[in-house]
């Protein structure tokens, strides 16, 4: 935990990454120590921070510039400050879920050089555009492959299960254990154990039809990319604490998911999305690798 040097700002950071922003001017409100480095908190930012509860998309990198000096932003993470006690926690140490109203929520720009001279100053915040573009493509591919997988697996449910926004049992939400987004790709892992069986999913013979399932998933992805439909992040408000939703209208209906990340503007920008399914750990885990156009070869 880091002790605030003065009463901590009670307003959550205003964020512009949901609309795809890469640059902004802002005022530095706080400097804190973060694991041997410094953390810089501003009143507003275009930087996307890694979420502490569901760390799927890595934090943005880039530059904070002021008075002819440039500070390299090595990572972006979340800090939460309790409104009553002022206690402040960073990233994985935060004891509550993002958006808890008893806490204010902040984007921390992690820098190596001492930025304390910047306190109260106006600065220019610039996200590394190439890296952001790769992560946005990877994240959009990841949001689309979930419903595509749900559709391919929909006949394997023997009991009612929660449905996704296209009306298929939401295997992606029910079975997922982790999701990692990289540049132009993602890896989702699903647990195929007893609890999934109890919920009514049958994994019998899955290994034998994995190629067919993969082809179905890739067929849907190809259709959605060819349709070149808009991808929009809808927000309930301007701050980091507000709920954000990935929204994309495909032929089958609206793909909608709670999502704190960044995305491309249309599905066509992805160029091509290819999914690969693999059963590992004696069939106890299903691994879904997804890559989009522009991926390093």
Positions in the binding site for Zn ion (CB under 5 A): 259, 261
Residue 33 pairs in a beta bridge with 38
Supply the minimum distance, in Å, between the C-beta of residue 25 and Zn ion.
28
Which CB, 168 or 259, lies closer to Zn ion? 259
Supply the minimum distance, in Å, between the C-beta of residue 290 and Zn ion.
12
DSSP run (H or E) holding 178: strand 176-182
Q: CA-to-CA distance for 111 and 126, rounded, in angstroms?
A: 13
Supply the minimum distance, in Å, between the C-beta of residue 143 and Zn ion.
5
Which CB, 55 or 261, lies closer to Zn ion? 261
Contact 40, 108 (CB under 8 A): yes
Helix residue ranges, H only, the chain: 129-152, 171-175, 194-198, 206-227
Which CB, 30 or 263, lies closer to Zn ion? 263
According to DSSP, residue 268 is labeled G
Contact 108, 49 (CB under 8 A): yes
Which CB, 66 or 256, lies closer to Zn ion? 256
State whether the Cα torsion 285-267-270-78 is positive or negative. Answer: negative
Q: CA-to-CA distance for 75 and 62, rounded, in angstroms?
A: 8
- Extract the tokens encoding 234: 């809808």
Which CB, 18 or 261, lies closer to Zn ion? 261
> Which residue sits closest to Zn ion, CB atoms considered?
259
Supply the minimum distance, in Å, between the C-beta of residue 259 and Zn ion.
3
Supply the minimum distance, in Å, between the C-beta of residue 20 and Zn ion.
14
């Amino acid at each position: 935990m880091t002790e605030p040097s003065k009463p901590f700002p009670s307003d959550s950071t205003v964020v512009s990454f949901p609309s795809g922003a890469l640059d902004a001017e802002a005022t530095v409100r706080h400097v804190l120590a973060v694991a041997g480095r410094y953390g810089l908190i501003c009143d507003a930012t275009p930087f996307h921070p890694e979420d502490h509860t569901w760390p799927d998309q890595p934090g943005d990198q880039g530059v904070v510039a002021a008075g002819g000096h440039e500070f390299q932003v090595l990572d972006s993470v979340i800090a939460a400050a309790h409104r009553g006690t002022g206690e402040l926690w960073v990233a994985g140490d935060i004891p509550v879920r993002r958006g808890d109203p008893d806490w204010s929520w902040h984007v921390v720009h992690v820098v190596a050089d001492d930025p304390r001279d910047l306190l109260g100053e106006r600065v220019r915040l610039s996200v590394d555009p190439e890296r952001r573009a790769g992560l946005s493509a990877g994240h959009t591919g990841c949001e689309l492959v979930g419903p595509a997988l749900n559709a391919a697996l929909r006949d394997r449910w023997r009991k009612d299960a929660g449905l996704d926004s296209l009306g298929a049992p939401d295997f992606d939400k029910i079975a997922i254990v982790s999701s990692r987004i990289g540049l132009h790709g993602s890896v989702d892992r699903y647990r195929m154990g007893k609890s999934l069986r109890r919920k009514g999913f049958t994994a019998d013979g899955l290994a034998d039809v994995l190629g067919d399932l993969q082809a179905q998933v890739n067929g849907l992805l190809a259709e959605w990319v060819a349709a070149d439909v808009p991808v929009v992040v809808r927000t309930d408000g301007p701050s980091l604490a507000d709920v954000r939703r990935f929204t994309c209208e495909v032929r089958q209906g609206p793909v909608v998911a709670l999502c704190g990340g960044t995305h491309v503007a249309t599905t066509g920008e992805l160029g091509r999305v290819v999914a690969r399914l693999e059963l590992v750990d004696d069939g106890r885990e299903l691994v879904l690798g997804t890559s989009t156009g522009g991926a390093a070869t």
